[in-house]
């Protein structure tokens, strides 16, 4: 008696770990892993579609370090830091080092947005589309013998719980509380064994939760809690993986966009061992380790678009 066999009806995702001859096939459903694919999207139902293409434009100049600021953007073009308007016109603000990777964080002083930036060579602030220096402002309060310094020039910025964190090679500096303009370089820092690749702050809906996801060039760490609220309270520091993040691949999202039941913020990033989700409670999940081999890379780029995390690896 003959019976119908579904040759193919959908896919359960990419699998580069197994020999193609060993990948299981379900003849009842016609669903299996893919051994290779190019420019494909697979939705939650297993349907495969071609990824959207691209179109050439009349603009041919090269841009780097793009950053969205609401109704305008920032980026670097050659050795110029520029404001990019919604009609794609641009205005140069200052000279910066050509080819240097820029780190940005956006905050507010209560009346206006302030975008802080650094690239391991220069630092500054953009306010109302004008670039300013990033000076030392001594905290107002009781007289103290503490010595304060202006922000060091680093390569990664992050803000958590009223403090600015600045990665400078293998040192993570943090500012005085509730100010991003004063640093105690003799005391307020964490040291790591190798160059820092990722600093991502995530907030939680639960009191006292949240923290920093940190990667140096060897390992990934979770720094939970308030991060030095007092001199006697150290953060919860946990080493969670013996491999590093690939620099510049991290994207921060509301947990609800990633999975049901995930509260607060999560950070999604790529490592040589797989794509990672880190939540606001210090839990780390490698979602591709069992099925996909990723190439080694020091840097990359990550973005979230149309419900998908997209990453490139250099």
Gap between the Cα atoms of 55 and 184, Å rounded: 50
Phi, psi at residue 198, to the nearest 5°?
Answer: -150, 135
Indicate if the pLDDT at residue 7 is higher than 80.
no
Least confident interval from 47-56, 240-249, 260-269: 47-56
Determine the pLDDT at residue 101: 96
Indicate if the pLDDT at residue 2 is higher than 70.
no
Tell me the pLDDT of the chain averaged across its residues: 90
Q: Could you report the per-residue pLDDT of 101-125, keeping only the tens digit for each?
A: 999 999 998 899 999 999 999 999 9
Indicate if the pLDDT at residue 307 is higher than 90.
no
Average pLDDT for 6-24 = 85
Indicate if the pLDDT at residue 253 is higher than 80.
yes
Indicate if the pLDDT at residue 88 is higher than 70.
yes
Indicate if the pLDDT at residue 291 is higher than 60.
yes
**In this predicted model, which residue has the larger pLDDT, 228 or 267?**
267
Gap between the Cα atoms of 253 and 235, Å rounded: 23
Gap between the Cα atoms of 3 and 33, Å rounded: 23
Q: Could you report the per-residue pLDDT of 27-42, keeping only the tens digit for each?
A: 778 888 988 888 888 8
Gap between the Cα atoms of 214 and 282, Å rounded: 11
Average pLDDT for 54-63 = 82
Gap between the Cα atoms of 74 and 130, Å rounded: 11
Q: Could you report the per-residue pLDDT of 62-75, keeping only the tens digit for each?
A: 899 999 998 999 99
Average pLDDT for 239-254 = 96
Determine the pLDDT at residue 228: 58
- Contact between residue 267 and residue 210 where contact means Cβ atoms under 8 Å apart: no
Q: Could you report the per-residue pLDDT of 210-227, keeping only the tens digit for each?
A: 899 999 999 999 998 766
Indicate if the pLDDT at residue 197 is higher than 90.
yes
Region of residue 186 (phi > 0: left; psi between -120 and 50: alpha; otherwise: beta): alpha
> In the beta sheet, which residues pair with residue 116?
105, 125
Indicate if the pLDDT at residue 229 is higher than 70.
no
Average pLDDT for 17-26 = 85
Determine the pLDDT at residue 105: 97
**In this predicted model, which residue has the larger pLDDT, 280 or 143?**
280
Terminal-to-terminal C-alpha distance of the chain: 55
Determine the pLDDT at residue 179: 92
Q: Could you report the per-residue pLDDT of 148-182, keeping only the tens digit for each?
A: 999 999 999 999 988 999 999 999 999 998 899 99
Gap between the Cα atoms of 13 and 117, Å rounded: 38
Helices marked H in 107-199 — which ranges?
Answer: none
Determine the pLDDT at residue 205: 79
- Contact between residue 269 and residue 305 where contact means Cβ atoms under 8 Å apart: no
Q: Would you kindly state where each structural domain of the chain is located, as residue ranges?
A: 10-50, 135-245
């Amino acid at each position: 008696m003959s019976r119908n066999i579904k040759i193919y009806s959908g896919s359960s995702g990419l699998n580069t770990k197994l020999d193609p001859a060993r990948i299981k096939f379900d003849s009842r459903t016609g669903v299996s892993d893919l051994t290779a694919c190019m420019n494909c999207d697979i939705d939650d139902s297993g349907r495969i579609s071609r990824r959207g293409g691209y179109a050439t434009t009349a603009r041919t100049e090269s841009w780097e370090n793009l950053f969205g600021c609401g109704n305008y953007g920032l980026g670097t073009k050659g050795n110029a830091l520029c404001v990019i308007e919604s009609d794609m016109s641009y205005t140069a603000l200052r000279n910066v080092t050509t080819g240097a990777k820029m780190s940005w964080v956006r905050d507010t002083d209560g009346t206006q947005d302030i975008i802080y930036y650094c690239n391991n060579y220069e630092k500054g602030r953009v306010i109302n589309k004008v670039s300013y220096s990033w000076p030392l402002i001594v905290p107002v309060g009781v007289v103290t013998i503490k010595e304060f310094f202006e922000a060091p020039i680093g390569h990664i910025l992050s803000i958590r719980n009223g403090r600015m964190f600045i990665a400078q090679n293998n040192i993570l500096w943090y500012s005085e509380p509730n100010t991003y303009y004063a640093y105690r370089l003799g005391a307020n820092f964490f040291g790591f064994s190798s160059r820092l690749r990722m600093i991502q702050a995530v907030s939680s809906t639960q009191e006292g939760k949240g923290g920093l996801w940190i990667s140096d060039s060897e390992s990934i760490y979770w720094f939970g809690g308030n991060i030095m609220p007092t001199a006697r309270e150290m953060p919860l520091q946990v080493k969670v993986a013996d491999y590093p993040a690939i620099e510049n691949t991290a994207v921060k999202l509301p947990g609800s966009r990633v999975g049901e039941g995930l509260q607060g913020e999560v950070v999604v990033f790529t490592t040589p061992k797989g794509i990672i989700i880190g939540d606001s409670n210090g839990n780390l999940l490698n979602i591709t380790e069992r099925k996909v081999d990723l190439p080694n890379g020091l840097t990359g780029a990550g973005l979230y678009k149309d419900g998908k995390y997209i990453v490139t690896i250099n």
